[in-house]
C-alpha cells in the first residue's frame, strides 16, 4: 500500500522509505511510503530472559502485561511490579519485575518448555503443554448480532497504523452494544491481542461485559488468550481453525468468524447472540 495524499505526515510505529511504484501498469513513480516497524522484543522476568517476539514497538507496557497474563505467567495484574524498556541496536528488552509467586510459576514453566517465538507454539515440548486449563465462561448476557457488524465497521477509522501501512492487525474490546472502547495494533495478531488484554487489565476494565473483535483469523491461541481474559465472545474477520472451535466450545465461549459487514458465521455457543431469520444452507460461506 503506497503513500497517497490521505496518509498522515507522521505515524507512530512506522517509518517512511523510498519506493518505486507502478500503478495500473502505467509509468514509474518515485515516492516515500510508510512501512510498519517490526523489531525483536525480548521479555525478561526478574533478570531471566524468557521470550523474544517480533512486534511493533508501540504500547509495550500493555504488551508486557497482556502477554504475561495470557500465557499464565501472572495470575493478576498486581503481580507485575514494573516494566523498564531498554533499546539497543538488536531490538528492545522489556525488564519485568514480578512477584515471587509469578516468578516461581515461570521457573516451573521453564523446566518443561524450551522457549517460544512469535510463530505460535514453537518451543512447546509436549502435547500436554499446548492447551492449558481455561476458565469455563459464564453464560447469561445475550448480544444483538448487529453489535458485531457495528464494531467491525469502526475498525477502518480507528486503525491509524493500518491506514498508513496496510501491514498490521488490530484487536479491540467492544461494549455489549458494539462500541469499540479499546483497540491495539501490531504486525502480529497475537501481539495485538496481548496488548489489548494488557490495556484492559491496567485500566481494570470488566472485560466479561463485552466482546473482542480481531482483524485476523481465529487461531487456537487467539481463543485461548481471549478465554484466559474472561471474555465470552470472540469475533474474527476471517476463519477459525478446528482446534480453535474445539477450545472455544470447551471454554463455553461464543466463536464468530467471517464477521464482515452484515455477515457472520457462529461456530459454537450461539446462545449468546440474538440470531434471526435463520435459513438452511449447505455451506456457511
**Catalytic residue positions, numbered:** 119
Contact criterion met (CB below 8 Å) for 115 and 51: yes
d(CA 120, CA 105): 21
Amino acid at each position: 500500500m503506497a503513500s497517497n495524499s490521505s496518509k498522515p505526515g507522521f505515524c507512530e510505529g512506522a517509518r517512511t522509505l523510498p519506493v518505486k511504484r507502478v500503478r495500473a501498469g502505467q509509468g514509474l513513480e518515485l515516492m516515500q511510503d510508510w512501512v510498519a516497524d517490526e523489531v525483536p522484543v525480548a521479555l525478561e522476568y526478574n533478570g531471566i530472559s524468557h521470550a523474544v517476539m517480533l512486534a511493533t514497538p508501540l504500547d509495550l507496557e500493555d504488551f508486557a502485561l497482556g502477554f504475561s497474563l495470557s500465557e499464565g505467567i501472572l495470575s493478576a495484574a498486581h503481580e507485575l511490579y514494573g516494566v523498564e524498556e531498554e533499546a539497543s541496536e538488536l531490538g528492545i528488552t522489556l525488564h519485568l519485575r514480578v512477584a515471587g509467586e509469578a516468578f516461581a510459576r515461570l521457573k516451573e514453566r521453564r523446566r518443561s518448555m524450551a522457549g517460544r517465538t512469535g510463530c505460535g507454539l514453537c518451543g512447546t515440548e509436549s502435547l500436554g503443554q499446548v492447551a492449558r486449563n481455561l476458565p469455563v465462561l459464564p453464560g447469561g448476557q445475550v448480544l444483538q448480532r448487529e453489535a458485531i457488524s457495528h464494531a467491525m465497521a469502526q475498525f477502518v477509522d480507528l486503525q491509524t497504523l493500518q491506514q498508513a501501512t496496510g501491514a498490521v492487525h488490530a484487536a479491540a474490546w467492544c461494549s455489549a452494544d458494539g462500541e469499540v472502547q479499546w483497540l491495539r495494533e501490531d504486525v502480529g495478531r497475537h501481539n495485538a491481542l496481548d496488548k489489548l488484554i494488557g490495556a484492559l487489565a491496567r485500566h481494570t476494565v470488566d472485560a466479561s461485559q463485552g466482546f473482542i473483535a480481531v482483524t485476523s483469523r481465529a487461531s487456537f491461541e487467539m481463543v485461548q488468550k481471549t478465554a484466559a481474559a474472561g471474555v465470552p465472545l470472540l469475533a474474527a474477520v476471517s476463519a477459525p481453525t478446528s482446534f480453535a472451535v474445539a477450545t472455544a466450545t470447551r471454554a463455553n465461549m461464543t466463536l464468530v468468524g467471517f464477521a464482515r459487514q452484515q455477515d457472520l458465521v457462529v461456530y459454537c455457543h450461539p446462545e449468546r447472540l440474538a440470531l434471526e431469520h435463520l435459513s438452511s444452507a449447505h455451506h456457511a460461506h
